[in-house]
Structure 1
């Protein structure tokens, strides 16, 4: 049985730190720091995903525009074309996409609405647990 995004969300929860597009980049930096996270999902009406702003986006904005960009709305520097997945995606599929595209966070969308977020850490923990379970099954088979 393959572990899916739905299974990870059932275990870790569906809470996602979000903000609106008019939130300042400085406020987003504070949100990232206070929550000890690497990404904030930017939402529009009805919790639709309109962008994502990550630590990499913050560094890029400061690098391009200097500290003055901190007062700009996050919508000016967020990643708008957000890769997202649904709950039925397997961890192996998601790991492949995250590795190829260098993503560390993927929002989960259900019926056009934000339903959770998966980090690379979530994927790694899930995969480790899966490998440990496989090892236990093999040990049981050999011992039995």
Structure 2
């Protein structure tokens, strides 16, 4: 199964913030959208400059104190972003996410941000597959 199937089911919408947004602004976006990560983009979502997660904010809050809320997102974001393409296999990405302890992967096509997938999206997709297989087996056995 490819990541494109997950994107087809969940949608390709991506929430972004500019690098100059404050951490307080970022937290408002995370809360409003009920999400755990935002792609940082200098061009309103066309490219990926970084990614910032709740975990990034907590680490910087611990190290720098409440003053970090007025800092620019660029100061707390992860710059070296793992990305994927729609053709990537689901199992490979799940392994990559587990090994690197990351929960969100931007999907990039020809250098352009297309979507984002989370470990939750991958788990949900796999659970749906397992339920479908189970239903098919139960139907087969009962006929």
TM range (shorter): over 0.9
Greater CA drift, 95-104 or 72-81: 95-104
| Pair 1:29-2:27 in alignment | yes
Kindly indicate whether residue 88 of structure 2 is the aligned counterpart of residue 89 of structure 1: yes
Alignment length (residue pairs): 142
Cα deviation 1:64-96 (Å, max 9, x = unaligned): 111111111100110000000000112211111
Aligned residue number for residue 122 of structure 1? 121
Secondary structure of 1:108's counterpart equals strand
Give the secondary structure class of the aligned counterpart of 1:118. strand
- Give the Å deviation of 1:137: 3.2
Q: In the aligned structure 2, how far is the partner of 1:35 from the partner of 1:136?
A: 34
Partner of 2:138: 139
CA distance in 1, matches of 2:36, 2:123: 16
3-state DSSP class of the match of 1:47? coil
| Cα-to-partner distance string for 1:28-74 (whole Å, 9 max, x where unaligned) | 01111111100010012371101000000010111111111111110
Alignment of structure 1 residues 1-144 onto 2, 5 Å = 2=1, 4-45=2-43, 47-143=46-142
Inter-partner Cα distance in structure 2 for 1:80 and 1:25: 16
C-alpha displacement at 1:139, in angstroms?
3.2
CA–CA distance in structure 1, aligned partners of residues 125 and 83 of structure 2:
19
Q: Which runs of 5+ in 2 are unaligned?
A: none
CA-based RMSD of the aligned residues comes to: 1.4
